[in-house]
Amino acid sequence: MSNVLVVGSVALDSVETPFGRADEVLGGSGTYFAASASHFAPVQMVGVVGSDYPVERLTPLAERHVDLAGLERADGESFRWRGRYRHDLNAAETLETRLGVFSHFHPKIPTQFRNAPFVFLANIDPRLQLDVLQQVEKPKLVACDTMNFWIESRRNEFLELLGFVDVLLLNDAEARQLSEQANLVKAARWIRERGPSFVVIKKGEHGAYMFGPHAVFFAPAYPLEDVFDPTGAGDSFAGGFIGYLARTGHTDEQAMRRGVIYGSTMGSFAVERFSIERLLDIERVDIARRLEEFRKLVAFEEDLPE
Amino acid sequence: MSNVLVVGSVALDSVETPFGRADEVLGGSGTYFAASASHFAPVQMVGVVGSDYPVERLTPLAERHVDLAGLERADGESFRWRGRYRHDLNAAETLETRLGVFSHFHPKIPTQFRNAPFVFLANIDPRLQLDVLQQVEKPKLVACDTMNFWIESRRNEFLELLGFVDVLLLNDAEARQLSEQANLVKAARWIRERGPSFVVIKKGEHGAYMFGPHAVFFAPAYPLEDVFDPTGAGDSFAGGFIGYLARTGHTDEQAMRRGVIYGSTMGSFAVERFSIERLLDIERVDIARRLEEFRKLVAFEEDLPE
């Protein structure tokens, strides 16, 4: 089993959905990723919180093999995000973003984290993502996420970063924005030509495509009756995906396919409750059961009539 | 092998897409369905055309076991649809609809068609769909399509029809409109409680869900690099689906799952060219090859790490 290093945000979220609201709950890409990936492999987390962060609420993560030695405590306010989902649960409406100490974040990778074989660069400034890669020692696999803001404002740095990335995860709108291709097959090819062997295009409730060197793979989203809060679904997906790869140590096509299914599985749990509540609640048997549901969801026997 | 009876529109379409335009080409739900289903089973088509319809252009259909004995020729103009797709190929913009003789259409099912075991009621007035069911003799399976217009303007008649339908095919917006449920799992349950054992919810480029008595099944859309003209994709899907069932005579869950995959396969061919061009062009080997691509697209080996 290999370690997974994640560098991302650790935030306090306040979220309103058609089903309820939560105030100042654990959030951030690093937090969701770690909660998800820790079901599969030991996680080493790097991030920053302010002096007001309720770090004791991270204890459940520490108890599940998330090493918080890279979590810096800085003077000032923690990163806070306030958002709302209306009936289209695919689209978050950001009401307020207060970066706080996150705006001066300079990831420092602790010495004992630098040889992590699996690295996930969550959605932060591409310059910081590049900086992280200079601090680590030849990881077996580097995966990375991003967002529209960086694609627009740090395009050159992001393109430079792509050259060092094995797996890029992004949503369909971001793939189109980055490649300037409306068609996702063409968008994925454009991106793959710039570095990543695998491009995972997430489509929210419409599932995810993985484009690789030899084939395309598709995983549907689990048809949930109640999507409670979509926040963190993408980072939980990444956590299941990269966490699974780290557990097995494999990065071949079959492992990547299974990784995407584990990613979809973890994403489907994350949205069942606020924050990382559900991710902390589930056990191995729940994951196995939902994986079996995913298998059944797409299973058909071939039988071309003569 | 069983016959499939289809009652639907036979039209002349003029379509503009980002990739080109076609004028007065063969269109209509009955036409697309027949062109698709005829790869699997003999089709009996019921519809109406005006005195101006170039019926000789239907010869390729007749040559592929589409029985046109139920195609009425009425005095007046044929049904014409003119539409445009911009970059979002999921949304057709209707520029003009001239119903012509279709506005007085009263389906008359020829005697020799009345014992067809498989019946597809394409998107027409639910009162006419009910009328067709009174003319046929206990089919083994009745499938039906509809559209937002009928759900709104003929809601009661449509709900009455549902009591006689085994498989309802509709798109996600229509499912939400009909059930007044935003969540598709709930929408499908609402619909199934009103009659259909199976509800197929089509999501265009995002694939299709089938909700049945025992399970949910999902088929992705084939990731095409060039979607040339989306017109008729849904009816081609229905043709592959119901045509496959008619070929095998089975209506169990496994057959229905394979049916949905054949439907997705035929839908993916339909959009590769204008009108029914591609559907007339493909052969058994093309269908088999794409079916195999669909299998690979979702295939993963299970391997829950210990």
B306 pLDDT exceeds 70?
Answer: no
Q: Which fold has domain A4-298?
A: UDP-N-acetylmuramoyl-L-alanine:D-glutamate ligase (3.40.1190)
Integer Cα distance of B74 and B48 in angstroms? 7
pLDDT digits (tens, 9 = 90+) for B187-225: 999 999 999 999 999 999 899 999 999 999 999 999 988
Across chain B, which distance is largest between two alpha carbons, in Å?
72
pLDDT of residue B303: 65
A304 pLDDT exceeds 90?
Answer: no
What ipTM score was computed for the predicted complex, to two decimals?
Answer: 0.88
Integer Cα distance of B197 and B163 in angstroms? 10
99-158 of B, contacting A, C-beta below 8 A: none
Integer Cα distance of B57 and B66 in angstroms? 13
Q: With contact defined as beta carbons under 8 Å apart, do B67 and B111 qualify?
A: no
Q: Between chains, do B287 and A296 touch, taking CB under 8 Å as contact?
A: no
Integer Cα distance of B252 and A250 in angstroms? 39
**Taking the C-alpha atoms of B35, B36, B38 and B40 in order, what is their torsion angle to the nearest 10 degrees?**
170
A183 vs B225, B258, B291: nearest CB:
B225
Q: With contact defined as beta carbons under 8 Å apart, do A141 and A200 qualify?
A: no
Integer Cα distance of B91 and B275 in angstroms? 17
A272 pLDDT exceeds 60?
Answer: yes
Q: Between chains, do B302 and A291 touch, taking CB under 8 Å as contact?
A: yes
pLDDT of residue B226: 84
Instruction: Count CB-CB contacts under 10 A for residue B168.
Output: 29
Nearest to A116 by CA among A210, A64, A46: A46
B258 vs A215, A287, A300: nearest CB:
A300
Integer Cα distance of A197 and A215 in angstroms? 11
Mean pLDDT of A230-241: 97
What are the helix (H) ranges across chain B? Answer: 29-37, 59-63, 126-135, 148-153, 155-162, 172-179, 184-192, 233-248, 253-270, 277-281, 284-298
pLDDT digits (tens, 9 = 90+) for B256-292: 999 999 999 999 999 999 999 999 999 999 999 999 9
What average pLDDT is seen over chain A?
95
Integer Cα distance of B247 and A56 in angstroms? 64
Chain B residues touching residue A287 (CB < 8 angstroms): 304
A76 pLDDT exceeds 80?
Answer: yes
Rg from Cα positions in chain A: 18
pLDDT of residue A8: 97
Mutate to test the interface with B, among A247, A266, A298, A306 (most CBs of B within 10 A): A298
pLDDT of residue A226: 84
Considering only A232-246, B77-91, B178-192, which range has the smallest mean pLDDT? B77-91
Higher per-residue pLDDT: B126 or B306: B126
pLDDT of residue A303: 65
Phi and psi of B254, rounded to 5°?
-65, -40
Nearest to B278 by CA among B87, B47, B32, B43: B32
CA distances from A142 to A118, A120, A162, B45 (A): 6, 6, 10, 57
pLDDT classification of B155: cutoffs 50, 70, 90: very high
pLDDT of residue B88: 72
Q: With contact defined as beta carbons under 8 Å apart, do B112 and B119 qualify?
A: no
pLDDT of residue A38: 98
DSSP state of A170: E
Nearest to B235 by CA among B203, B258, B267: B267
- The model's pTM: 0.92
pLDDT of residue B227: 86
pLDDT digits (tens, 9 = 90+) for B65-106: 999 999 999 999 999 999 999 877 777 899 999 999 999 999
User: Interior CA angle at A74 toward A73 and A78, to 5°?
Assistant: 85
